[in-house]
Amino acid sequence: MAQSVSATDTLKKDALYLALPGIHCGGCISAVERALLAEPGVNSARVNLTLKRATVEVAAGVEPPQLVDALARAGYEARELDSGALSATETDKRGRALLMRLAVAGFAMMNVMLLSVAVWSGATEATRDMFHWISGAIALPTIAFSAQPFFVNAWSALRVRRLNMDVPISLAIILAAGMSVYETSLGGEHAYFDAALSLTFFLLAGRYLDHRTRSVARSAAEELTALEVPRTLDEYGVAVAVADLSVGDRIRVLPGARLPVDGIIVSGNSELDRSLLTGESQPVAGGPDTAVSAGEVNLTGPLVVRVTAAGQDTSLRRMANLVAIAESGRNRYTSLADKAARIYAPLVHTLAFVAFVGWFWASGDARLSMNIAVAVLIITCPCALGLAVPAVATAASGRLFRAGLLVKNATAMERLAEVDTVVFDKTGTLTMGTPELENMGDHFDSDVAVARALADGSGHPLAVSLARAAGAAGIQPASVTEITEVPGQGVEGLLDGATVRLGRPGWVGAVPSEVTATYLKIGDNAPVAFTFCDALRPGARDTVTALSARGLDVVLLSGDVSGAVADVADRVGISAWEAQMLPEDKAARIAILSSAGRKVLMVGDGLNDTAALASAHASISPASALEAARVVSDIVLLGNSLEPVAQALSVAKSATRRIKENFAIAAMYNVVAIPLALAGFATPLFAALAMSASSISVSLNALRLGRK
């Protein structure tokens, strides 16, 4: 029987991979696996909830569309992923390694602390030395294993002649352990094994918290590439690899399939869903000589397409490259912790050096001088600073999660607090991305019944919405026979011998209106229009109002037509908007705002938004967004309402204040502790207690953020 796993399974060459953006719990895992295993030719199915991915081992001849259809019948959206484009190193090895080192350091610290109690209680000479040697036997291998992340990062910085926070940390741990061995070998009264382990444990705790805040994030460019369809059909219906296609080849694209290449339609008529690529809310008609792009979805009729661009040259791959460039630019953001490290690290080293030189000049005792210098390093070691940011990030993330927001990026809070401009996408972001019938009450029930009968025979978004609204009103479908869908036009049938049609205005002889509509013609009667609007996402208007009230500029950028964009902008209260924008146009607009010194928050959901999401100062995507958009975003909106967006900005400002307060707490602690260490009054017990007190203080201050 298939097993559910939480770690990423190793990519297998003989397996199919499906993206499952809609799964969210253990019940989803079981349902998906059962649906897949029920299909003939499926040998095993494993679902990874963290990556929202299924790995399916199948017999020869089983194609991905069969599995996608099976999951659709079970109520789950699925998309094929290209295993060749997915990284085989997605397992959270670093997180597990940090957790293991943290556990080892904690266990060793508790044991050495117990031994230290005996020393602090008055053990002398041989007994004290024995406890010190036992402590050393526990501490030294633990430090060598657990403190490796700090040593590696410090060495990486020193190799390029710079300092980071890990340099004083590593130096303090190494000198504390080294001096402890030296003191123990000479029978000295003091050893710093407990302090070295405490440093290691607390700092590893901060490092692990920091890692967990961003462990979900993966490369959006890689995810976009994996969305590219790895197989398609040639014009004769034979399966071929997309990688083998070249310009001039012809392929057949069946209804419901995503186009794998850019091209020109040679034959066939259909409607194309471009919403994820361009933001257009309604499907567009496609026929001979119509240009199509990779990533578009063919809705109603089979098409034969001549390839004009494949592989690296497709619009989808160019979009992935835009995202990769934008991500690398945003990753250059310097966090508050890094800024503090630039000042703090040289100061700590200077103080320790001054302590050694001063005491050696005053006493002539190198051993005493080195002990005091080590005590200064331990006292001033940035344990509190190491916890300052992760503790706040964890508290803030918890509060936002309870409000319906999942924070994925380590510096998201700091960047979000700096935002002064908010840019929204329209379709799927400010709106739900699904049309709603708005004038059913203007029609006779008999007309609605005919329209429902025809709509039931189509998968077009307007038809689906019409059928759903009629069903909700209790209107049953009329007795229409011989229902046939005409690709790119609509649906027709016979009612009492008369032809009835539901579809495009030109096809039924109607005059097109300026609003989104589908038209019904019964026999020789005049056509009637069923009009639709794109429903606003709950909280959209209130969110825009709240953001504007805080003095933020709010902008709407959409790939949809001007009329639809203007309508939504008016309904939510946005005065600045732009329509018919391509993905690169959105990214360029964000770049213009950024170059003018604006800090932009981008809120979007489609493939056409990924480059803009990546290039913005901060970004948010709804949970209903495409996987690639969610991956590139700093924060994911878990519910349907947009109201938590305004709350995220408020919490981010509070979090940044808490981080700065933690830096102040750490600085005040050093103001008190450093003179004592320089004066030679810092015993190992005092050093350990002082470090613990500072760490607990910043953690308690961070917890204040969790309260509303």
Residues annotated as part of the active site:
425
| Whole-angstrom distance, CA of residue 396 vs CA of residue 447 | 54
| 501, HSE (Cβ side, Cα atoms, 13 Å) | 20
* Residue 668: closest CA among 690, 686, 687, 653: 690
SS3 598: coil
Phi/psi for 6 (5° steps) reads: -100, -25
d(CA 518, CA 492): 13
Element (H, E) at 602: strand 600-603
Residues 28, 76: Cα–Cα separation, whole Å? 9
Helices 684-703 + 383-403 axis angle, to 10: 20
The answer to whether 634 and 409 are in contact (CB under 8 A) is yes
Print the SS3 string covering 240-290: EEHHHCCCCCEEEECCCCECCCEEEEEECCEEEECHHHHCCCCCEEECCCC
Alpha-carbon Rg for the chain, nearest whole angstrom, is 32
Which of 16-38 are b and which e, b meaning 16 or more Cβ less than 10 Å from the residue's Cβ?
bbbbbbebeeeebbebbbebbee
**In 597-679, alpha helices (H):** 610-615, 627-632, 644-678
Asked if 233 and 249 count as a contact pair (C-beta separation under 8 A), the reply is no
Cβ proximity of 452 and 471 under 8 Å:
yes
Neighbour-count burial of 672, counting CB atoms closer than 10 A to its CB (0-12 exposed, 13-18 middle, 19+ buried): exposed
Q: What is the number of other CB atoms lying within 10 angstroms of the CB of residue 277? A: 24
Q: Name residue 30's amino acid.
A: S
